[in-house]
Structure 1
Amino acid sequence: MNRFTGKVIIVTGGGSGIGEAAVRRFLAEGASVVITGRNRDRLEKAAADMAQDRILLFPADVSKRPDCDAVVSAAVERFGRIDTLVNAAGMNLVGTVDDTSDDDWRACMGADVDSVFFLTRAALPHLRKTKGSIVNVGSVSSLGGGWSHAGYNAAKAAVANLTRSVACDNGKYGVRANTVCPGLTVTGMVDAIMEDEALLEKAWERIPLRRAGKPEEIASAIAFLASNEAQWITGATLAVDGGQTCTDGGPEWGK
């Protein structure tokens, strides 16, 4: 498929995990992609085998407004337009309210929520011109609570509701905004879970398909929501979780 030929996509957190998988999917379907992340070496390593004429590597800390403004300016300067913004950058935070420090709380909100807000605000004028789309990477934690992840749960719930607000306010401009909500996915963020057999047994009790997702499977959902096939979808929260959220409870492996 070449659903994105001639389109320009910004992907945050594009140096690894779900973000990198999304970059590869968009490139495979003809897009030009601006790839952001904090670590230049990681970005360069991830992009070594990508189509160099259709990518722009832009190291940035997207929890900071000036960096977000710079990413958008660089995208327009290089490629002339923006068609889709994918906010895939983020961080996990393990801890209850009692044992979450002020600094950890602020870091989580910065990485998971501020980044989405600042980049959305910077990109919207350009997305209105192209009648573009925004796909934010939330989590099953966007849809319900869980144990020992107070800050992360709060941040990902905020992402989903911010996305709905953007969808409401910008539909009149032809701009769509949706949230993909991955369940347990094999990325660096869940290494501790994937290496703990006891935690995995708890996870499989809550996941009907009884396995973790792959970054490429989340990227497929992101690409669908960004494509013209999803022209009548906005403000949605799409669970891509192996059925976890159709069971009678949320993630239990931190209990």
Structure 2
Amino acid sequence: MMQNIENKVAYITGGTKGIGLGIARALMENGVKVAISGRNIQAAEVAKQTLGSENVLVLQADVRNFEDEVRAVEQVIKTFGKLDVVIANAGIGKFAPVDELTLEDWNAMIDTNLTGVFHTLKATVDQLKQNKGYYISMASLAGTNFFAQAAGYNASKFGVVGFTQAAMLDLRSYGIKCTTIMPGSVSSEFNGHIPNEEDAWKIQPADLGQIVVDLLKMNPNVLPSKIEVRPTKVK
């Protein structure tokens, strides 16, 4: 039994580019009202123009700051009257051998990728309980597959996977669904990359957007709690 998601309200952190922007576009194409946040309000305004709609709410918020998330959620409620879907997507990557990884880079990844995911859920959970909503965290295959020069990034993404799966068990009695999506190589601006034609083999942001749409439309009795996504081919 497919669910109608038209007029649902979604909040996406890190929604100004890449995966977050791809998810925003896919949701809007399916009639969902969308709010996107980022640390840079100018980038958020550019993203709004890219989406080509006045119906998207753009917000300046840093997921490392819990008060920012609380204010962002308050603005979503003020604008749209409710909140049904939360996509915790904001994330960064700093890569170096563990003996060379700086304290600053370690803290930035843990604070953004892991603590930020908690902040986003903490700020939205009351609305999710009220509306039997859906919480989706964007992890990575790096959340189960460790690799060299990624100790900090692996730690943060392993944490996101564990956090979201435990949250799923805590919250499903309220009718809240929780899923973590774990992409492999994605064509995005992550870590300063500029998407180009050589990225055609990679997962595209629109592909992940479609996965989110499919999750939201799924029978309410079914919960894919953890989804690994890989490119069909390796370059």
How high is the TM-score relative to the length of structure 1? 0.84
Taking the TM superposition and a 5 Å limit, the aligned residue runs for 1:113-192 are 113-189=114-190
Deviation track 1:23-48 (CA, whole Å, cap 9, x = no partner) reads 00111100111110111111111111
Deviation track 1:75-131 (CA, whole Å, cap 9, x = no partner) reads 111111110000111001111221111111010111111111011011011101110
Q: State the AA in 1 paired with 2:39.
A: R
- How many residue pairs get matched? 232
Question: Which residue number corresponds to residue 212 of structure 2?
Answer: 222
How high is the TM-score relative to the length of structure 2? 0.91
1:238 aligns with 2:227: yes
Change (3 A) 1:22 1:58: same
Return 5+ residue gaps in structure 1 as ranges.
201-209, 248-255
The alpha carbon displacement at 1:139 in A equals 0.4
* Structure 2 residue corresponding to 1:50, chosen from 52, 66, 77: 52
* Structure 2 residue corresponding to 1:213, chosen from 203, 208, 224: 203
The alignment partner of 1:94 has SS state of coil
The alpha carbon displacement at 1:2 in A equals 9.1
Deviation track 1:200-222 (CA, whole Å, cap 9, x = no partner) reads 9xxxxxxxxx9211111111112
Deviation track 1:205-251 (CA, whole Å, cap 9, x = no partner) reads xxxxx9211111111112222334464115x221111258xx9xxxx
| Sequence identity percentage | 26
Change (3 A) 1:55 1:69: same
Question: Which residue number corresponds to residue 75 of structure 2?
Answer: 74
The alpha carbon displacement at 1:191 in A equals 5.6
Return 5+ residue gaps in structure 2 as ranges.
none
Residues in 2 aligned to 1:41 and 1:194: alpha-carbon distance in whole angstroms:
20
CA contact (8 A) 2:3 2:219 kept: no
